[in-house]
Every structure is written in C-alpha cells, then in structure tokens.
Structure 1
Amino acid sequence: MAGVSGCIKYSMFIFNFLFWLCGILILAVAIWIRVSKDDQQIFTNGDSGANPYVAVNILIAVGATIMILGFLGCCGAVKESRCMLLLFFIGLLLILIVQVVAGILGASFKSEFEQILNGTLHENVKLLSSTDENAKAFQEALSEFQEEFKCCGLVDGAADWGGNFQQYSKSCECSDVPVSSCTVYGDKTVYKQPCISLIKDLAKKHIVIIIGIAFGLAVIEILGLVFSMVLYCQIGNK
C-alpha cells in the first residue's frame, strides 16, 4: 500500500500554520475596524436598529473559526489523523459556502446598505445641535473627524451644529487648505465641505478591505480543501 507523502504532509502543516496566521490577521483587522471609537460613533445611530458593522462582526467570527481550523489542520497533518482532517475539511467547506452566500447577499443588498448608511448619517444631524448628554459622544467623534479630514458639519456644513457651533468651532476652522475650500460662518472661517461624503468614502474603504480579505481567503480555503483531501486519502491507503 502507498504511504503518506512527506511532501504533502509537511506542505499541509505549513499551509495550516499560514492559515492560522491568516485567522489572527483577519481577527485583528476586523476588531480594529469594529472598535474604532470615532468611526463607530459616526456610523451608528442609537435610534436606529440598523448597524453598518454587521459584516465586520461576521468577519470576527470567521477569523476566530479560521484560527481553530488552522490549529486542527496542523494537528491532523502531524498526527496523520483522518478524523481531524475530515473535521478540518468539513469546517473549511462550510466557511467557504457561507462566504459565497454572504458575497451574493452583499452584492444584492448593496444599494440597501448605502440607503441605510445615508439615512443614519442624515438622522445623526439632529445630534449635532442637541444638548442631550447622549449626543455628546457623537459630537466629540465628529469634531475629531472634522479636524482630521478637514470638513465641517455633517450634511449642510457648519449650520448643522446649531447652538453648539461655538463649542466645536475650533475643529472646523480652516488651516493649511486653499481659500476656495473655506467659507465664513458667523465670525469664523470654516471648511466649506460637509463631512458626509468623506464618511461615506471611509465606509467604502472598510468594505473594500473586507472584500479583499474575503477573496484572498477563498483562494486559500480552496487550496486547503485540496491539500486536506489528498492527505486524507493517502492516510486511508496506508
């Protein structure tokens, strides 16, 4: 009977070690996006049930699962355990199927996601002029965003701040930008561009990161399925 190929066995081990590292990377990136305090305050509206971070939450779960599967695959390859390899194969196949389904659903509901994000941002305009304590976290987050990305207000510029403008005007004041990018509001020279388009661009960049990870992961997963099944069959033929 044919023995187990050392090349396949150790290739499987190396692959799964890299797969495990990929799981750590995915988990780290997803958690970084999810816990980014300013972005979370800007994208999330406390009065809405919609949460633009659902995809990131799914990615966190996928990253954690990949770490477990990578460890399982490494042990299965070293110990030549058909049971571990079969569990690895089934788990990997299920993840791949979930990714494909999620990709199809994501493409189908892309316009709905954009509408939800747009609606959330427009709804959050009310928080800028609010004096409620619950609105302060959003106001501080947008103030920091304004200073970093050189914009002012959310939808209609500085007017969005209402009576709170003087308190947060410093982050709106023009600096190191062409005069054409500035306008006068009250007694201050502030950025003309509202932040809504920049926030949407930031959300799109997050989505591109998620899609890129998902595509790269799909290729790795297919290789993992092939390696694990070849090794599984070779162990069975010993």
Structure 2
Amino acid sequence: MGCTTAIIKYLVFLFNSLCALLGIAVIVVNSLALKDAADETRPILIFFIVLGSVIFLISFFGCCGAIKESVCLSWTYAISLLVLLILTCILVFVYAKRIDGEQVAKNVLDDAWNKQKNGTDGMSFYQTNFHCCGVNGTNDYTNAHLTVPTSCYTNSTTTTPYTVGCLTKLEDFYEQALKLVKAFGWILVAIEAGTFMSGSILAISFNNEQRRSRY
C-alpha cells in the first residue's frame, strides 16, 4: 500500500469516527426531543433518528472496507454516502425550510388551550417551562372565565402571574430550534461530503492497486 493510499485510509477512519459519533448524538438528542415534540415537528425528528442510525451503520461498513482493503465494500460505502448526502441536503434545504415556527407554535398552543378550557390542564407544561401565562397573556383566562392556574406563578408565595403570553415564548423557541437544526444540517452535510470524497478516493486507490497487482 502506497503512502498516499495510507493517508487516505487514515482520513477515512477519521471521518468515519466523526460520522459514528455524530450518528449516536443524532439518535440520542432527537429521541429525547421526540417526547414533547409537536405533531408538525415529529416527522423531521424521526427522520433524523433514522438518519443517525444509517450514518452509524454506513460508518461501520466504511471501516470494514478500509481495514480489508476491499474494492467492493469501499464502493458500496461511497455510493451509500452519496445517497445519504442527497437525502440530508433534501432535509436541510427543502423540508426544514417549509416548517413555519410561528404556525407550529400556534397549533401547539391552540390544542393546549382547548384542553385547558375543557378542564384538562393542557397549558401547565408550557407555562411552567417557558415562564408564561395563557396564549397571549392572563387576559385569556379572564375572558374565558377561568381561574389563573398555579403554573402561571413562579411559586406558591408569588401573587403576580407571568405577564408574557406563551405564544411569544414558543415562537422564539421554535425559531431558535429551527436555526439549530439548519446549522446542524450544514455540519452534517460537510462531514458527509468529506467522508464521501475520501471514501471514493480510497476505493479508486484500492481498485488501482488491485489492477497493478495483476501485472
């Protein structure tokens, strides 16, 4: 094995290690987020979980191909990465851009507020975690002839409820979350592109060495 091929082989190992760690991180983070996710965002979280699993498996095949110096495994690995790269680009540049954070926040709170009016404490989770009260403020409870719940207060001794409505808080949250998803997607695309290039070059190097060995 030549010096250039050896360098590329180590690069493949490096990128594969990054991809494997990234795949595990994607699975863990999105699995945790899936529990309290809105219906509109569940598909993208599930897609990321599947994507993380596929990234981890492909990284494993890439390591096997590099260790065994198998042309077949190396090309299978490179082609799989190309397909994965295309899917990631579609997710980041097409699907993620179609998600409207403000509309998602409105739909989530409309559902929670309807539950609240029907006697179920549907707003408690958002009011406690986002330090807000009602959809647009405490007037929502007054207008609906409802008692302001304890989740609208900092603690049991506080007499003044949160003044900010949960819609504003949730819109900001989803806006920041979508920015993080897009930034993470860019990082994922960059790592996958680098891994695909190094994997393709390694497969070509193995193929050339196999061809030279026949003569």
Fold shared, TM-score > 0.5 on shorter chain: yes
Deviation at 1:147, TM superposition (A): 2.8
Where does residue 10 of structure 2 map in the other structure? 10
Q: 5+ residue gaps in structure 1?
A: 45-50, 176-181, 183-187
Structure 2 partner of 1:30: 30
In structure 2, the residue matched to 1:178 is none
**Offset of 1:189 from its aligned partner?**
2.7
CA-to-partner distance for each residue in 1:5-59, whole Å, 9 max, x for gaps?
Answer: 2221122122212211111111111112112xxx43xx34xxxxxx322211111
State the distance in 1 between where 2:30 and 2:110 align.
Answer: 26
The equivalent of 1:102 in structure 2 is 91
TM-score, normalisation: structure 2: 0.82
Gaps of at least 5 residues in structure 2 are 210-215
Corresponding residue of 2:57? 68
In structure 2, the residue matched to 1:189 is: 160
Q: 2 CA distance for matches of 1:81 and 1:12? A: 14
- The TM-score normalised by the length of structure 1 is 0.75
Q: Which residue of 2 aligns with 1:226?
A: 197
Distance 2:43 2:141 in 1: 28
Q: Deviations over 1:79-115 (max 9, x none)?
A: 111122112111111111112222332365244x643
Amino acid across the alignment from 1:56:
L
- Check conservation: 1:30, 1:56, Cα contact below 8 A: yes
2:180 to 209, 212, 236: 209
Q: How well do the aligned residues superpose, as a CA RMSD in angstroms?
A: 2.7
Q: Which residue of 1 aligns with 2:136?
A: 155
Distance 1:108 1:195, change over 3 A: closer
* Cα deviation digits, residues 150-180 of structure 1 (max 9, x gap): 21112343534856636xx2221256xxxxx
- Distance in 2, Cα, partners of 1:235 & 1:157: 68
Task: Indicate conservation of the 8 Å contact 2:105/2:170, yes or no.
Answer: no
The separation in 2 between residues aligned to 1:227 and 1:151, in whole angstroms, is 50
Q: Give the drift of 1:220.
A: 0.7
Q: Percent identity?
A: 25
Question: How many equivalent pairs are there?
Answer: 206
Q: CA deviation at 1:228?
A: 0.8
Could you tell me whether the CA contact under 8 Å between 2:137 and 2:166 is conserved in 1? no
Q: 2:2 and 2:125 mapped to 1: Cα distance? A: 65
What SS does the aligned partner of 1:226 have?
helix
